[in-house]
Structure formats: structure tokens, C-alpha cells
Amino acid sequence: MATPAAGQVPPPLTAIAIEWRGMIDPVATNGVPDYSPAAIARWSRRLKNARAKLAAIDRARLTPAAAIDAALLEAEMNGLDFQLRVLRPWARDPGYYATVWAEQSDVPAHEGPNAPVIDLWRFDYPLSAPDAARLDAQLSAIPALLDAARVNLAGSRAHDLFAYGARAFHDQAELLAQLEAGTLELRSLVGHRRADLSGEGQRLLPAIRAARAASARFAAWVETEAPRRNGPSGVGRRDYDWAARHVYLSPYDWAAQEVLLKRELSRAWAGLALEEVRNRALPPLAMPTDAAAFDRLSLKKAERFTQFLIDRGMVPDRPWYRAAIPAQRTTWRAPAQRDFFGHVVAQDPLPLYSHFYHWIELARMAHEPHVDPLRQGPLPFNMWQDRSEGVATAMEELAMQAGLYDDLPRGRELVWIMLANRAARGLASLYVQDNRMTLAEAGRFHARWTPRGWSDPDSRLVGFEQLLYLRQPGYGASYIVGKVQLDDLLAREAERASRAGKPFDAAAAIATLATPGILPLALVERALDEGDH
């Protein structure tokens, strides 16, 4: 076999990848995906065939980069296997059928399992005639999709998925109402804009009204059904472990993740306590209470963090990196409207902007895509979760240790508070997956172990987060599990520098960790070991 040029994938592997990724989404008729038993059986046969073709590749003859691509495709196939055998969201989870989105996710793709989505933010407004026709067809399929969902979900006993599942459809109905009224705000990498339905967009109004009514009816149906669905919702520890190992390629099973999250929770509380002792003579942090002044200072904080990344060499000085985080700047919220992150931002937005490193990575995907076509887009089944959420969470502490708060020592307190919150909610999500906690109990645990009483178990945020982590096993723990794996990789780079008698260059190490692409961290580690970066 001839050695491919850099960035190329061997032809047999390319053919398998194209065929495989073309079959991940379900077959649809008139915009409605088919989840009938016959369709699922066909899906399973196609998966078996794809696996056989991949197994026939002689991986010993592949370049290191191509061998990593083959391992990636194998994990993706395991992801569909997990969907078909265990998660079966089309048959268990009403939220799977909430498909209309006004905002781009801050991670490579939408969190959680979803039927094929309608991303309103991907369109240019006012709509062109072809885009209006395409969006009209997508929205027109929603009533039939939700009718089919009732049939598909008939056998589900997953109580919490139903008890919390109506919220997404009330939200979808409200979103569609705003779209119809011309007030819907869209959010994407370029910032915020309005969905203007003037001109060609007017043809969408009947489809929007029908989709809105169908969403409201479906929410009511889910609420009616919830008391009758009285079974567990978590996948259980055995299947959780299988997915962790074979889909997300994590070195940590459920039990190990519990230990890691408990350790980080304790470390965060202890770190906060010591920071408070050190800072007790200092005045409290304070952002302006006037909305306009708050928003102006918040923008300056976003620009400050971006400049910090550039000055430290963590991010190249390019226009799209300078624009990414300021385009997502936080705005003022009244005290009564603040959730956990609202309380943090009211003190100082810098810690949350550190997590907004997500948008730097999305800018990289958009403007400097990976040379390997198999690594350019988002991986399916949220396989990026440990990598994306782990890096963003790690950046909060990395920036702190690199000097972001040298002139704002009380800002360090917020970093520890955010870490405690992420560890607490991740632990709760583990217990939900193990069917040891309900979502209501998880919310109370989540709130109890979040410092300063800033997490309300009855808030929309806590309900949204815990439901997402139930719907997508491993996501709740990924912030800490991925951060720990990133810490391990940075430690390896530091040890290598020490052995070579060189100073450790943290910025260069972080840049190097980004070069293999947004892959499971086990494959990032393999790429660094084998020179595929």
C-alpha cells in the first residue's frame, strides 16, 4: 500500500468512512425519520456490514494518522451500537423529538441525542427563495414527526424522561411563536442577530403555526403520560461502563469517575475556603448594577480574556479568534432572574469567559479546519464530550494559574465555585444513571454541594442540566473526567520537557494538544505519542 500524503486518508478507509457516515442518520420519508422495527433492523444490518468492512482493513499497514482514523471510526460504530441496543432515544426519550434550535451550541454539535435538527441559526435572513423553501419543508414535517413520536414512545417506561420531557416542547412552541412574531434572537459564532421573516420568509408562517400547535399538543401529551411511565431512566452501571470504554474511549469507568468527581468536589471546596481566608481583608467583587454599564464592562472583560490568551501564546492572533468570545458576551440580569451562572457573572464574567474557550475552538473548526477530512466536522453521538467540556473546564483553572486574576484575587474564588458546581452536578448525574437518584434528588444534591447557595434545585438551569445528563450518559461527568485527562496530558508534556532539560512551555503544550483535532482524549494522547500532530 502506498503511503498517503499528509492529511490524506487511504482510499479503502475513505470509502468506508463516507459510506458509514452517510448511514448514521435514520432514513426519512417526507422529512420524518423512520424508527419502525423494520427500519431499526435494517439499520443494525448496515452497521454490521460497515463493521465487517472496517475489520477487513489491515491496520498494521496504515500510517499512524490513518490508524487513529480507523480507531475513531470503530468508536463511532460502537456509538451507533450503543444507541441501537441500550439508549434507544427514539423509543424512550420524548426530548429526542425537540428539533428546532435558534442557537448554535458552544460545543461541536448539539448536546444529547436528537432526531435530525432544524438549525434556524444556519440560515441567512431575510431568507432567499431556495432557503425559504427548504426551511418550509423542514418545519412542515414537525406535526407528522410528533405524531410518529407518540407511536415510537408507546413502550417507554422511563419516568424521569417523561416527567421532565415536556419542557423542551413548551420551549419549542415559544421559540416558534417568537419566530412568527419576528422577535426571535439567533446566536451563533458570529454573534446575535434577528430572524427576519420579511419577503420570502412570509411563506413559512402556516408551517410555523402548525409546528407550534403540534409542539404544544405534544407537550400536553407528555405531561399526561408521565404518571403512567413508572420505570427507571438511567442506563445502569454496566452499560455506562461499556459506553465509556468503547464509545468515548475513556480510561475511567463509572466507579473511577465517582472517585475523580468526589476528589475534585473536595478540592474545589477546600480551594475556595483557603482563597476566602486569604482574601478576607479585600472588598468583594462587584460589577455595575446598571444594565448598560454592566454590558460595556462585560465586553471589556471578554476582550481582556481574549488578549490574555493571545499574550500568553495560547491562541494565535487572528481576527476570528479575537472576535469569538466577545461575540458571546454576557449581559446584565436582574437579581431575581439569576441562575448559578448569573450569580457568577454578577461578580465577574472572567471565569465564565474562560469556559467560553469553546468558541475559540469553534472558530478554529470554521476557519482553520483540520487537514484530515475525517476530523473536520463534529463527531457523532457526542463523542467529543470529554475533550470539549474537559478542555473548557480546564481552561478556567489554567488561566487562573497563568495569572488571569493576579490583579483580581477574589476572582479566584469564582473559579473554585464553578469547579465545585461542575463536580457536584456530575456526581449527581452518575447516581441518576445508576438509578440511585431521581432527577429531583439529583437537583437537590447538585444545589447542596454548590457553594454560596447559588444553585436553586427548582431552577430551569438545574432541571435542564440534569435532564441533559440523563439523556446523554457521561455528559455530566465529562467536564471533570475530560479535565483530569487533560491534566494527565499536560503532566506528560511537562515530564518530557524536564527529561530533556528544557523549561515547560504551557502555551505550546496547550497548542500541541489541540492539533490532532477534537477527538476522544485517548486518541489525542495516541496522536502525540505517534507524532500525528
Pair 322, 429 in one domain: yes
Q: Rounded distance, CA 286 to CA 331, Å?
A: 15
3-state secondary structure of 188: strand
pLDDT at 5: 44
Q: Which pLDDT tens digits describe the chain residue by residue (533 residues)?
A: 333 444 566 788 999 999 999 999 999 988 899 999 999 999 999 999 999 999 999 999 999 999 999 999 999 999 999 999 999 999 999 999 999 999 999 999 999 999 999 999 999 999 999 999 999 999 999 999 999 999 999 999 999 999 999 999 999 999 999 999 999 999 999 999 999 999 999 999 999 999 999 999 999 999 999 999 999 999 999 999 999 999 999 999 999 999 999 999 999 999 999 999 999 999 999 899 999 999 999 999 999 999 999 999 999 999 999 999 999 999 999 999 999 999 999 999 999 999 999 999 999 999 999 999 999 999 999 999 999 999 999 999 999 999 999 999 999 999 999 999 999 999 999 999 999 999 999 999 999 999 999 999 999 999 999 999 999 999 999 999 999 999 999 999 999 899 999 998 888 888 888 999 999 999 999 999 887 55
Residues in a beta bridge with 32? 29
Whether residue 405 sits in one domain with residue 272: yes
Distance between CA atoms of 319 and 321, rounded to whole angstroms?
A: 5
Q: What is the DSSP letter of 494?
A: H
Domains held by the chain: number: 3
Let me know whether 428 and 445 are in one domain.
Answer: yes
pLDDT at 2: 37
List Cβ neighbours of 515 (8 Å cut-off, separation of 6 or more): 527, 533
Inter-axis angle of helices 521-530 and 475-499, to 10 degrees? 20
The share of the chain scoring above pLDDT 90, in percent, equals: 94
Q: Helices 167-181 and 205-225 meet at what angle, rounded to 10?
A: 160
Exposed/middle/buried for 34, CB within 10 Å: 0-12, 13-18, 19+?
Answer: middle
Residue 6 lies in a domain: no
In this prediction, residue 90 carries a pLDDT of 98
The whole-angstrom separation of Cα 341 and Cα 424 is: 15
122 and 261 co-located in one domain: no
DSSP element (H, E) containing 32: strand 32-33
Q: Which residues are bridge partners to 188 per DSSP?
A: 191
Tell me if 2 is assigned to some domain: no
Are both 87 and 221 inside the same structural domain? no
Cβ atoms of 70 and 59 closer than 8 Å: yes
- Identify the pLDDT of residue 10: 73
pLDDT, position 511: 86
Tell me which of 39, 71, 91 is where a domain ends: 91
- Give me the pLDDT at residue 327, please: 98
Write the pLDDT tens digit of every residue in 8-44.
Answer: 667 889 999 999 999 999 999 888 999 999 999 999 9
pLDDT tens figures, 203-222: 999 999 999 999 999 999 99
Map grid coordinates 508534556 to a residue: 493
In 98-200, the DSSP E strands lie at 100-101, 118-119, 185-188, 191-194
Range of the domain at 172: 94-228
> For residue 356, is it within any domain?
yes
* pLDDT at res. 1: 34
Asked whether residue 108 falls in the same domain as residue 77, the answer is no
Q: Are residues 304 and 438 in the same domain?
A: yes
Is the separation of the CB atoms in 26 and 43 below 8 Å?
A: yes
Residues across the chain? 533
Three-class secondary structure of residue 191 per DSSP: strand
**Residue after which a domain boundary falls, among 194, 228, 262:** 228
Q: Do 284 and 298 sit in the same domain of this protein?
A: yes
Report yes or no on 378 lying in a domain: yes
Q: Which three cell numbers stand for residue 289?
A: 448594577
Q: State whether 249 and 335 are in the same domain.
A: yes
Q: Is 332 helix (H, G, I), strand (E, B) or coil?
A: coil
Whether 442 maps to a domain, the answer reads: yes
Q: In the numeric block, which cell numbers belong to residue 80?
A: 451507533
Residue 215 placed within a domain: yes
293 with 436, same domain: the answer is yes
From residue 258, give the alpha-carbon distance in Å to each of 284, 314, 431, 477.
34, 31, 9, 9
Cα–Cα–Cα angle for 167, 84, 467, nearest 5°?
A: 25
- Does residue 4 form part of some domain? no
Using alpha carbons, list the distances in angstroms from residue 242 to 74, 86, 172, 255, 473.
14, 10, 33, 13, 11
- Residues 61 and 155 grouped into a single domain: no
Residue 1 lies in a domain: no
pLDDT at res. 286: 86
pLDDT on residue 6: 42
Residues 114 and 144 in one domain: yes
